[in-house]
Amino acid sequence: MIYPLYQRLQLIPTRAAMNELYDNNLDLYTVLNVLENGYDCYKSKRAKGTIERCLDEKRITIRVVVVKSFNYSLNMDVWAITHVGITSKHKHKVKK
């Protein structure tokens, strides 16, 4: 099995998510870590069956969005990774 499991389903990246993983120098096990150890961080309301999780590391936040899907090549239900992003955490200045 090439793909890691999350909630007993394989994590399979979409083409766009694969490009984002490559651009951010991340791998599928980082995605799995964010899903298992991160927190819910919905920016907007997501469709049923969609999970958006974030994980803070030092000065960055890694955001992962996955959706339940059916993979016809594997003939099984999977988690499709639709987005992986990194944002920097901004410190809020306190006004005096």
Confirm whether 40 is domain-assigned: yes
- In this predicted structure, the answer to whether residue 91 has a pLDDT above a threshold of 60 is no
Which are the contacts of 37, defined by CB distance < 8 A and separation ≥ 6? 55
| pLDDT for the residue 29 | 94
Quick check: is 93 in a domain?
no
More confident position, 93 or 62: 62
Distance (Å, whole) CA 72 – CA 87 = 33
In degrees to the nearest 10, what's the CA dihedral of 62, 87, 57, 4?
Answer: 20
Residue 94, domain member (yes or no): no
Asked if residue 95 is part of any domain, the answer here is no
pLDDT class of 25 with cuts at 50, 70, 90: very high
Quote the pLDDT of residue 88.
84
- Domain of 66? 5-88
Question: What does pLDDT average to over the chain?
Answer: 88
Considering the domain boundaries, does residue 48 fall inside one?
Answer: yes
Q: How many domains does the chain have?
A: 1
Residue 44, domain member (yes or no): yes
